[in-house]
């Protein structure tokens, strides 16, 4: 196993910075060759922030009770006091870079660079720019040259800028990780389409940012998550209108709308007819086809 890390004041003890806007505490890399497993478990987390970039192989993270396999080309962001439980396997020849940082303005800085705070996994793609910036931060901590702390903050901010640009340039291709998540989302929405689903809460529950999840879902299925759910509701409403005598209000509630008027507007927008008109037209057409079929039989 290869380890090369630098620490502020040559100390491995983390602390919370309350005065400075941003301060880097450590940075470095781990690379597995022969060691079979490299586990980390901090049940109470740390007092600082941690950003992990997976440059090769993959990492296995336990996030809010779920084990998630995160392949190369992704970063994992841990806020303070969040449990950190993950491991890397030697057979994957994994390499990851990390940086620990703290400061009174960290959240506002992350928001400024549009780094999502609503999910752990950040899908940033693979780039040598990342490794170069992590390496420079590590070297600054090792060399401690003039104004190195100030330069560390510039380097971390540059990393955030590169992350933002890479995340917005293009969405990740449909890897096994993406396929698994998108298939899971599709099955979940099909099962619970008639419940009050929050896309933001769903994405956070799967440890993804809302924007990345939405973009991947759209790329995978050709529509947004909410449009997908709406289509399920309208489709099932059609079936109920065609096959039952339930009222519009009853059907609205069954497919996930508490307000029948809102359901009627959504249905009209999707099908061009109100629910009652749709039922009337469908049954008239059905009766007409049945009558024509009887005539054909008699002839």
pLDDT in the model for residue 173: 53
Same domain for 9 and 143: yes
- Give me the domain span that covers residue 8: 2-169
Residues 52 and 123 in one domain: yes
CA dihedral 161, 166, 170, 174 (to 10 degrees): -140
pLDDT higher than 90, residue 56 = no
Q: Are residues 24 and 152 in the same domain?
A: yes
pLDDT band at 293 (very low <50, low <70, confident <90, very high): low
Band of residue 175 on the pLDDT scale cut at 50, 70, 90: low
Residues 49 and 89 in one domain: yes
Predicted confidence (pLDDT) per residue in 122-144, tens digit: 988 888 899 999 999 999 999 99
Last residue of a domain, one of 128, 144, 169: 169
Q: What is the CATH number of the domain that holds 48?
A: 2.60.120.280
Q: Would you give the end-to-end CA distance of the chain in angstroms?
A: 86
Same domain as 106, residue 135: yes
**Contact at 8 Å (CB) between 24 and 99?**
yes
Please check whether residues 242 and 133 belong to one and the same domain: no
For residue 13, give the nearest of 93, 90, 85, 102 by alpha carbon. Answer: 102
User: Is residue 80 located within the same domain as residue 208?
Assistant: no
Structure tokens at 152: 């560390």
> Longest Cα pair distance anywhere in the chain, in angstroms?
101
CA distance 176 to 120: 19
> What distance in Å separates the CA atoms of residue 237 and residue 278, rounded to the nearest whole number?
11
Looking at the fold, whether 9 and 82 belong to one and the same domain comes out as yes
Q: Is 14 within 8 Å of 93 (Cβ atoms)?
A: no
Write down which residue in 169, 185, 207 finishes a domain.
169
Stretch 256-269: mean pLDDT: 94
As for how many domains the chain has, the answer is: 3
**3-class secondary structure, 87:** strand
């Amino acid at each position: 196993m290869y380890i090369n890390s630098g620490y502020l004041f040559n100390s491995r003890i983390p602390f919370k910075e309350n005065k400075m806007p941003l301060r880097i505490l450590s940075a470095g890399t781990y690379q597995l060759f022969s060691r079979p497993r490299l586990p980390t478990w901090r049940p109470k987390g740390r007092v600082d922030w941690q950003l992990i970039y997976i440059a090769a192989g993959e990492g296995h993270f336990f996030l809010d009770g779920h084990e998630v396999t995160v392949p190369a080309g992704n970063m994992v962001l841990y806020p303070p006091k969040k449990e950190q439980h993950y491991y890397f396997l030697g057979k994957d020849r994994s390499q990851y870079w990390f940086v620990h940082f703290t400061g009174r303005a960290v959240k506002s800085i992350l928001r400024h660079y549009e780094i999502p705070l609503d999910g752990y996994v950040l899908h940033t793609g693979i780039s040598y720019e990342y490794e170069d910036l992590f390496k420079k931060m590590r070297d600054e901590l090792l060399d401690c040259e003039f104004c190195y702390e100030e330069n560390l903050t510039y380097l971390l901010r540059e990393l955030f800028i590169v992350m933002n640009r890479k995340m917005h340039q293009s969405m990740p291709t449909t890897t096994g990780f993406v396929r698994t998540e998108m298939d899971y989302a599709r099955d979940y929405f099909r099962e619970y389409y008639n419940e009050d689903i929050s896309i933001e809460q769903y994405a956070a529950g799967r440890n993804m940012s809302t924007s990345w999840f939405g973009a991947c879902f759209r790329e995978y299925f050709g529509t947004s998550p909410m449009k997908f759910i709406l289509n399920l509701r309208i489709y099932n409403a059609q079936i109920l209108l065609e096959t039952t005598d339930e009222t519009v209000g009853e059907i609205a509630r069954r497919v996930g709308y508490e307000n029948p008027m809102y359901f009627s507007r959504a249905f009209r927008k999707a099908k061009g007819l109100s629910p009652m008109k749709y039922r009337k037209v469908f049954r008239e057409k059905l009766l007409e086809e049945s009558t024509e079929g009887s005539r054909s039989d008699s002839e």
